[in-house]
């Protein structure tokens, strides 16, 4: 074994596998030649010990509760930047100059309208369809409307598709909400910033003027920043795997939306709020904490735990601060759900089971309360997560395509089924 190699011994034969170092974080053992040299696969179904790619976009230190986007701590980006600045950073790798920011904002703003035919596309859905089902369908359908930005080998077309996705997700999300509640669609306005435009498209009605509350717009913008990207999580890995086959960007993002919908992932904010509502009052919390600890009970405390963060999710701390700002602004300081949430957090942070298993509140724990206070129904919570995460998916998708080592993703398996056997005629079964 050399300084930068790991030795694997199989059937008495030892092979050296190169160890590669990144700029920060754990080294990796490059197992690309393992099967060729040993006839063996590795086995890691949840990818808990497997790096799928090299990346320069986001870095998480789960033990220290650190989240960096292109090296910048999430706390500083959430405090000093806005969402489109973070989008620029994730896409291009550097914070924009003033001129670059003005140009980027202009380009995104002037892509916010969707093809007018999309309005008729919505009418195919039932009004009570879950907005995430509508988003899966509509985003996947974008490739049927924007053929001129689906050639993934053309960097210009990739960037046009990237801007279109970032720009049009708020419009589509607002349309999904309006369709869900039976109100008319509201077109974007180019004189509003990204978050304000989204709030107006969701909550304005033709009957009266709508004035955006700047405190709520800032909170919405910060929520988008907190959800923008998060390394190789399940939905981002889905987007990369879909993209590795050469699928167009709209189809890849639709795949990411579908994966994010799951309650173990982006669906947790909706599930966490539903859980708080089910608990209902502080005196019922011990009953649910006991259920969460019971190995025979599938119940989990939604909004707690994380595959990577074994310390507090840094986003949850900022989300908690935003929650209090929004509730104070809206006069909901005494929201009963927040009272249950705060007591549940206190118990979880002191209870030995949660401490031992390192189950801290994650970003979804507070985001649901905030989004409910902003006026969104729980069915829209994961849509907002998908809206914000689109820039992360798109940045990771572009990085994957530009990676010279990129190949179609095609995992192997440990087969535990029947060995080869002969067909049995039905008369003999
Ligand atoms: C997101 O990957 C990302 O980065 C995701 C995300 C992003 O920005 O993209 O951060 C967004 O998805 C946040 C996570 C949202 N999900 C939830 O809040 C759902 C509830 N949390 C869990 O389902 C769970 O914690 C996961 C899915 C988040 C993590 O699952 P792991 O890493 O596979 O951990 P595990 O299921 O193996 O659990 C380890 C132990 C188990 O006990 P043992 O079998 O070891 O005895 O902890 C227990 C679990 O039973 N456990 C919980 C729990 N989560 C884990 N017990 C009670 N309540 C919980 N929430």
Sheet holding 58-61, edge to edge: 58-61, 66-69, 72-73
CA angle at 175 for the pair 195 and 204, rounded to the nearest 5°? 60
Is residue 208 helix, strand or coil? strand
For a pocket test of ligand 1, which of 291, 305, 390 has the largest count of ligand atoms closer than 8 A to its C-beta? Answer: 305
- Phi and psi at 68, nearest 5°, equal -115, 135
The fraction of the chain above a pLDDT of 90, given in percent, is 83
Kindly report which listed range (27-31, 255-259, 289-293) carries the lowest average pLDDT score.
289-293
Distance from C-alpha of 353 to C-alpha of 289, rounded to nearest angstrom: 10
Contacts of 164 (CB under 8 A, 6+ apart): 111, 142, 146, 149
Distance from C-alpha of 29 to C-alpha of 20, rounded to nearest angstrom: 6
pLDDT (average), residues 77-98: 98
pLDDT (average), residues 163-176: 97
Q: At what angle do helices 234-243 and 249-260 cross, to 10 degrees?
A: 150
Q: At what angle do helices 268-279 and 381-402 cross, to 10 degrees?
A: 160
**Number of the ligand 1 atom closest to the C-alpha atom of 266:** 12
Does 2 score more than 70 pLDDT? no
CA angle at 134 for the pair 47 and 124, rounded to the nearest 5°? 145
Does 1 score more than 60 pLDDT? no
Ligand 1 proximity of 265 Cβ (cutoff 6 Å): yes
From the candidates 82, 229, 313, 364, give the one annotated as an active-site residue. 364
Is residue 364 flagged as an active site residue? yes
- Residue 156: other Cβ atoms inside 10 A: 9
The number of angstroms, rounded, from the C-alpha of 205 to the middle of its chain's C-alpha atoms is 30
Is residue 306 flagged as an active site residue? yes
Ligand 1 proximity of 264 Cβ (cutoff 6 Å): yes
Ligand 1 proximity of 302 Cβ (cutoff 6 Å): yes
Ligand 1 proximity of 300 Cβ (cutoff 6 Å): yes
Distance from C-alpha of 398 to C-alpha of 159, rounded to nearest angstrom: 9
Is residue 7 helix, strand or coil? strand
For a pocket test of ligand 1, which of 227, 262, 306 has the largest count of ligand atoms closer than 8 A to its C-beta? Answer: 306
Q: Burial letters for 331-348: b for 16+ Cβ neighbours within 10 Å, e otherwise?
A: ebeebebbebbbebbebb
Instruction: Quick: pLDDT tens for 359-370.
Output: 888 888 889 889
Kindly report which listed range (55-69, 330-344, 349-363) carries the lowest average pLDDT score.
330-344
Distance from C-alpha of 96 to C-alpha of 91, rounded to nearest angstrom: 11
- Gap from CA of 177 to ligand 1 centroid (Å): 29
Contacts of 194 (CB under 8 A, 6+ apart): 82, 83, 84, 105, 108, 109, 170, 221, 224
Does 247 score more than 80 pLDDT? yes
Instruction: Quick: pLDDT tens for 388-412.
Output: 999 999 999 999 999 998 899 999 9
Q: Looking at residue 334, what is its pLDDT? A: 73
Instruction: Quick: pLDDT tens for 17-55.
Output: 999 999 999 999 999 999 999 999 999 999 999 999 999
Ligand 1 proximity of 310 Cβ (cutoff 6 Å): no
Kindly report which listed range (136-145, 187-196, 327-336) carries the lowest average pLDDT score.
327-336
Q: Report the length, in residues, of the chain.
A: 429
Beta-ladder partners of 208: 205
DSSP state of 111: T
- CA 101 → CA 50, 83, 87, 188, 394, distances in Å? 36, 11, 10, 20, 19
- CA 123 → CA 172, 185, 187, 312, distances in Å? 13, 12, 17, 43
- Gap from CA of 394 to ligand 1 centroid (Å): 25
Contacts of 163 (CB under 8 A, 6+ apart): 107, 108, 111
More confident residue, 211 or 151: 211
Q: At what angle do helices 363-374 and 336-350 cross, to 10 degrees?
A: 170
Distance from C-alpha of 254 to C-alpha of 139, rounded to nearest angstrom: 6
- Gap from CA of 267 to ligand 1 centroid (Å): 12
Residue 3 — pLDDT band, cuts 50, 70, 90?
low
């Amino acid at each position: 074994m050399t300084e930068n190699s790991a030795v694997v011994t199989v059937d008495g034969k030892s092979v050296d596998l190169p160890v590669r170092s990144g700029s920060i974080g754990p080294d990796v053992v490059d197992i690309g030649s393992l099967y060729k040299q040993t006839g063996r696969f590795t086995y890691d179904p949840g990818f808990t010990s497997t790096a799928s790619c090299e990346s320069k976009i986001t870095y998480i230190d789960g033990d220290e509760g650190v989240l960096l986007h292109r090296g910048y701590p999430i706390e500083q980006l959430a405090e000093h930047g806005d969402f489109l600045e973070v989008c620029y950073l994730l896409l291009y790798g550097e914070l924009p100059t003033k001129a670059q920011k003005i140009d980027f904002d202009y380009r995104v703003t002037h892509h916010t309208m969707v093809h007018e035919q999309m309005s008729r596309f919505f009418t195919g859905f039932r009004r009570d369809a879950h907005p995430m089902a509508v988003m899966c369908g509509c985003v996947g359908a974008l490739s049927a409307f924007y053929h001129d930005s689906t050639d993934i080998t053309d960097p210009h077309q990739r960037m046009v598709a990237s801007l279109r996705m970032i720009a049009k997700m708020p419009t589509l999300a607002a349309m999904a909400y309006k369709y869900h509640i039976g109100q008319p669609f509201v077109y974007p306005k180019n004189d509003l910033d990204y978050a304000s435009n989204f709030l107006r498209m969701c909550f304005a009605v033709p009957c009266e003027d709508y004035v955006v509350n700047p405190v709520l717009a800032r909170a919405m913008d910060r929520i988008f920043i907190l959800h923008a990207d998060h390394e190789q999580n399940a939905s981002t890995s889905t987007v990369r795997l879909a993209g590795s086959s050469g699928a167009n960007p709209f189809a890849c993002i639709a795949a990411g939306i579908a994966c994010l919908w799951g309650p173990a992932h982006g669906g947790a904010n909706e599930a966490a709020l539903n859980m708080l509502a089910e608990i209902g009052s502080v005196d019922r919390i011990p009953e649910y904490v006991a259920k969460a600890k019971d190995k025979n009970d599938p119940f989990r405390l939604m909004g707690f735990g994380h595959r990577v963060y074994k310390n507090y999710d840094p986003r949850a701390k900022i989300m908690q601060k935003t929650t209090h700002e929004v509730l104070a602004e809206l006069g909901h300081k005494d929201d009963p759900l927040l009272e249950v949430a705060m007591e549940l957090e206190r118990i979880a942070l002191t209870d030995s089971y949660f401490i031992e298993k390192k189950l801290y509140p994650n970003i979804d724990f507070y985001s649901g309360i905030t989004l409910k206070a902003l006026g969104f129904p729980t069915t829209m919570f994961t849509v907002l997560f998908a809206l914000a995460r689109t820039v992360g998916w798109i940045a990771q998708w572009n990085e994957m395509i530009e990676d010279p080592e990129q190949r179609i993703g095609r995992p192997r398996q440990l087969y535990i089924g029947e060995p080869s056997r002969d067909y049995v005629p039905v008369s003999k079964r």
